[in-house]
Amino acid sequence: MRYFKHILFLLCIITSFGTLKAQTRDIITLKKGWKFNKGNHPEAIKSNFDDSHWEDITVPHDWAIYGPFDKNIDKQVVAIEQNGEEVATEKTGRTGALPYIGEAWYRHTFSLPNFNTNKKAIILFEGAMSQPEVFINGQKVGEWKYGYAYFYFDITDYISTTQENTLAVKLSNQGESSRWYPGAGLYRNVSIIIKNKESIDQWGTFITTPLITQEIAKVNIKTRVSGKDLRLVTAILDADGKQVNSNETVQLFNNEFDQNIAINNPNLWSPESPYLYTSVSRLYAGNDLKDEITNRFGIRQIEYNQKTGFSLNGEITKFKGVCLHHDLGPLGTAVNKSALRRQLRILKDMGCNAIRSSHNMPSIEQLELCDEMGFMFLAESFDEWAKPKVKNGYNLYFDTYAEKDVVNLVRATRNHPCIVMWSSGNEVPDQWGAEGVKRAKWLQDIFHNEDPTRPVTVGMDQVKATMESGFGALLDVPGLNYRVHLYEEAYNKFPQGFILGSETASTVSSRGIYKFPVEKASMKTYDDFQSSSYDLEYCSWSNLPDDDFVLQDDKPWVIGEFIWTGFDYLGEPTPYDEAWPSRSSYFGINDLAGLPKDRYYLYRSRWNTKDETLHILPHWNWDGREGKTTPVFVYTSYDSAELFLNGKSLGVQKKNNDTKQNRYRLMWMDVRYETGTLKVIAFDKDGNPASEKEIKTAGKPHQIVLDTDVKTIKANGEDLSYVTVSVVDKNGIPCPTATNQLTFKVKGEGTYRAACNGDATSLELFHLPTMKLFSGKLVILIQSTENAGNIELSVSGKGLKKGNISLSSFK
């Protein structure tokens, strides 16, 4: 038996937007003022290099998302071993068919007139895709390899106080380096941190609580510093900004302070109540304040053991999680906090309580939002170890960089309350053989050394091999990717006493697309390169949601699941990875535009236990199917319901155990289509009508309708409003099959940023102000300027009444 009981007091550094000026340090986030050019420009490191003809951009930036889509970009002839393929075939959209391959340069100039010999400067990169080389004033400061890694360099000896400093960053993306769209560029924040030489080290604070009771939390804060004869004062504030306690110490242990602070009647962090405190740490030399850092944190207790599985704050908790790739659909990989917030709002409404960063390090913004909004987090590190999946992948750097990358991941993020588990790898080919076992232990030991409070998992797909080699037995948490038929055997053979569904389902569907006959099928393909939204189609290695539901419900030793995936992502268009055009995934519970597919409501009916769910599929516009069998499914939190077609009852269905699907879905398999109204009435446990819903056959598209997720946005040049566009007939009934070409115009203090319709086969460019509807909908992204004011969006299409919506931005 392996036992984990970890109580953690967690903090996260507040990242500034722009420049955070304090008495002791400046954090200069380099957002505006960048110059960018694609190509080979070795002279760009020089201060006198003429970059006037280069593109003006802001960072975060993804240079490849603007397209065009081209099937010849990174065309890979491979056999995907983790998918069970034995014969190499041509994969055309595997990395999104976007032009991410090649070399590019970024330049930025900055002045530090107040910098002196008592100061220290570091430059921090939160993600650079990929193989970044960093130059200051013509001198190479350093390089990194992994495009998902956080890293920093000390640039104290490279900067000038008498003239402008020139920062140049070279990035190089190779073909066959990824198996999904990796993005390109400085896609996460770049910051320069100016502080005193006597200061708190970068990522130098680690806070845990060795004791939590209802009455008190004992807080231990370890703070690494540079300098001698120092004094550290730490105050803790509650969510209202009121100080609850403080501690002062002068005792250093090998350049580290060790403080204990008590919090009476602590408010615990959880998905239901994500309570965050604030800590303020001030470092003094004598009476001189040398450094100050303000942090948010949470208090919570996690426990993994053989008897109860996983517990949070003493309560047995199942992971109701999703896997997320790092791209944000039409924005590409350029991180945007409002886009991430929208994703999490959608998932929260579904009842999701956990996120897995697949298959790489998460953004700081994502972790901050998960802290605030209440999501547990499985932070993953690698998709490859020493053995390759793709020719030019991380395997080239594993031996020299893996330890540094893990150390940076843990130190940069270990104080986020949301993180409850680390993952050292996903479906790595190293699962076979003794060398793989050694690598798994080596990585797990690094995680434990940097953070002894959280367990480590690996997403294993070669479960039989890991049973035989001891690979699975040594992990803190055995994670199974799919392989539902092996759960029982793994549970009996592995010593931990529980199993995590580290990756589940991989069911495929296209929003609003339905195929007949309705039947379960593996790797099913169609002439239109879409998948059926009856949610009965899956991949050769995977399964249907219902298969996982049974394990979650019937096996107390299954501690939860992380579904592949919460949202569609660019690349990996299985089952159409050998077809063109097809350039994004079909796995998402939500499509690439963030619009829910039918499957969203299947999960919501189980996971959201506070709100009712009642959803009918398919749509009811089937010209030419009159009299033909058109099954109707209802996803609902209720156990039974009655279906009516044009007022005639088609009978009552009740969830039962006849099949896995009958247990979780209400299905009327013999409905014959006729135009009109389809209505469902759901019953409560006593058999009384509790809720009803209906859908109607629509006429021709008549009017454009706009709806937005938020009506006010911040005037910071970054905030986004997502406007959903649909069309209705003359009676206001939605037209679910409309494919009209629309154009968009934005006026006022906002700009058109991008659009997406969720169609995996669409080759329309996201940044152009025109796009076709897909299954009657698309989404437009409006971005604020830096001026407060009104924003007007108008959407038009041939033969349609124009749609308009007003937004506003504020300072």
- Three-state secondary structure readout of 326-375: CCCHHHCCCCCHHHHHHHHHHHHHHCCCEEEECCCCCCHHHHHHHHHHCC
- The tokens describing 264, both together, are 């009476």
What percent of the chain is predicted at pLDDT more than 70?
97
- DSSP labels, 284-319: EETTEEEEEEEEEEEEEEEEEETTTEEEETTEE--E
Q: For residue 804, give every residue at least 6 positions away whose Cβ sits within 8 Å of its Cβ, in sequence order, or none.
A: 706, 792, 793, 794, 795
Nearest alpha carbon to residue 523 among 586, 588, 600:
586
Cα first-last separation, the chain = 55
- 272 in active site: no
Nearest alpha carbon to residue 161 among 201, 125, 118:
118
- The tokens describing 38, both together, are 């694609």
Residue 509 pLDDT greater than 50, yes or no: yes
Where does the pLDDT of residue 370 fall: very low under 50, low under 70, confident under 90, or very high at 90 and above?
very high
Query: Cα–Cα distance between 518 and 515 in angstroms, integer?
Result: 7
DSSP 535: S
DSSP β-ladder status, 741-748 and 770-772: antiparallel
Contact yes or no for 219/209 (Cβ under 8 A): yes
DSSP β-ladder status, 319-324 and 558-564: parallel
Residue 19 pLDDT greater than 60, yes or no: no
Residue 213 pLDDT greater than 70, yes or no: yes
Range 695-716 average pLDDT: 98
pLDDT of residue 5: 43
Range 760-788 average pLDDT: 98
Residue 4 pLDDT greater than 90, yes or no: no
Look at the block and give the residue holding tokens 């219902």. 546
Contact yes or no for 523/540 (Cβ under 8 A): yes
pLDDT of residue 742: 98
pLDDT of residue 8: 43
Q: What are the helix (H) ranges across 540-694?
A: 545-554, 598-607, 660-664
DSSP 793: E
Contact yes or no for 381/394 (Cβ under 8 A): no
Contact yes or no for 748/792 (Cβ under 8 A): yes
Q: What are the helix (H) ranges across 455-544?
A: 463-469, 471-474, 487-493
Element (H, E) at 434: helix 433-450
Fold of 318-607: TIM Barrel (3.20.20)
CATH fourth-level superfamily of 703-810: Immunoglobulins (2.60.40.10)
Q: Same CATH topology for 4-9+201-301 and 622-696?
A: yes
HSE-up of 297 (CA within 13 Å, CB side)? 28
β-strand partners of 725: 706, 778
Nearest alpha carbon to residue 127 among 111, 112, 108, 145:
145
DSSP 571: S
β-strand partners of 195: 25, 120
pLDDT, one tens digit per residue, over 34-45 is: 999 999 999 999
Nearest alpha carbon to residue 634 among 624, 625, 626, 644:
644
Range 480-506 average pLDDT: 98
Q: For residue 287, give every residue at least 6 positions away whose Cβ sits within 8 Å of its Cβ, in sequence order, or none.
A: none
- The tokens describing 193, both together, are 């941190």
Q: Phi and psi for 507 in degrees, rounded to 5?
A: -75, 145
Longest dimension (CA), the chain: 88
What percent of the chain is predicted at pLDDT more than 90?
93
Residue 570 pLDDT greater than 80, yes or no: yes
pLDDT of residue 577: 93
Q: What's the burial of 462, exposed, middle or buried (CB within 10 Å: 0-12/13-18/19+)? A: buried
Residue 81 pLDDT greater than 90, yes or no: no
pLDDT, one tens digit per residue, over 575-611 is: 999 999 999 999 999 999 999 999 999 999 999 999 9
- DSSP labels, 160-191: -SSS-EEEEEEEEE-TTS-SS----B--S-EE
pLDDT of residue 543: 97
Residue 199 pLDDT greater than 70, yes or no: yes
pLDDT of residue 153: 98
Look at the block and give the residue holding tokens 């009444």. 801
Q: For residue 519, give every residue at least 6 positions away whose Cβ sits within 8 Å of its Cβ, in sequence order, or none.
A: 536
Contact yes or no for 220/208 (Cβ under 8 A): yes
Distance of CA 480 to the CA centre of its chain: 20
Q: Return the CATH number of the domain spanning residue range 622-696.
A: 2.60.40.10
- The tokens describing 282, both together, are 């001030």
Contact yes or no for 538/505 (Cβ under 8 A): yes
pLDDT of residue 410: 98
β-strand partners of 246: 235
pLDDT of residue 746: 98
Which of 209 and 498 is assigned the larger pLDDT? 498
Q: For residue 689, give every residue at least 6 positions away whose Cβ sits within 8 Å of its Cβ, in sequence order, or none.
A: 681, 682, 683
DSSP β-ladder status, 256-264 and 277-285: unpaired
Where does the pLDDT of residue 69 fall: very low under 50, low under 70, confident under 90, or very high at 90 and above?
very high
Residue 78 pLDDT greater than 90, yes or no: no
**CA distances to 100, 153, 430, 506, 521 from 540, in Å:** 29, 45, 22, 10, 9
pLDDT of residue 552: 96
Q: For residue 508, give every residue at least 6 positions away whose Cβ sits within 8 Å of its Cβ, in sequence order, or none.
A: 531, 537, 538, 539, 574, 575, 586, 587
Where does the pLDDT of residue 23 fall: very low under 50, low under 70, confident under 90, or very high at 90 and above?
low
Q: Which of the residues 292, 368, 503, 537 is marked catalytic?
A: 503
Where does the pLDDT of residue 24 fall: very low under 50, low under 70, confident under 90, or very high at 90 and above?
confident
Q: For residue 686, give every residue at least 6 positions away whose Cβ sits within 8 Å of its Cβ, in sequence order, or none.
A: none
Q: Phi and psi for 392 in degrees, rounded to 5?
A: -110, 35
Q: Return the CATH number of the domain spanning residue range 4-9+201-301.
A: 2.60.40.10
Q: Which of the residues 126, 176, 427, 749 is marked catalytic?
A: 427
Confidence (pTM): 0.96
Query: Cα–Cα distance between 268 and 274 in angstroms, integer?
Result: 8
Distance of CA 556 to the CA centre of its chain: 28
Contact yes or no for 789/749 (Cβ under 8 A): yes
Residue 416: asked if its preceding bond is cis (omega within 30°), the reply is no
Range 411-423 average pLDDT: 97
Q: Where are the domains of the chain?
A: 4-9+201-301, 318-607, 622-696, 703-810
pLDDT, one tens digit per residue, over 265-313 is: 999 999 999 999 988 999 999 999 999 998 899 999 999 999 999 999 9
Contact yes or no for 142/122 (Cβ under 8 A): no
As a dihedral over the C-alpha atoms of residue 470, residue 475, residue 480, residue 483, rounded to 10 degrees, the angle is 10
Alpha-carbon torsion (250, 253, 256, 261), positive or negative:
negative
Residues counted in the chain = 811
Q: What's the burial of 386, exposed, middle or buried (CB within 10 Å: 0-12/13-18/19+)? A: middle
Range 521-541 average pLDDT: 97
Look at the block and give the residue holding tokens 């056999």. 79
DSSP β-ladder status, 750-756 and 803-810: unpaired
Encode burial over 561-593: b for 16+ CB neighbours within 10 A, e otherwise: bbbbbbbbbbbbbbbbbeebbbbbbbbbbbbbb
- 427 in active site: yes
Residue 1 pLDDT greater than 70, yes or no: no
Where does the pLDDT of residue 18 fall: very low under 50, low under 70, confident under 90, or very high at 90 and above?
very low
Element (H, E) at 446: helix 433-450
pLDDT of residue 320: 98
pLDDT of residue 6: 44
Query: Cα–Cα distance between 360 and 210 in angstroms, integer?
Result: 30
Strand order in the sheet with 199-212: 199-212, 216-226, 256-264
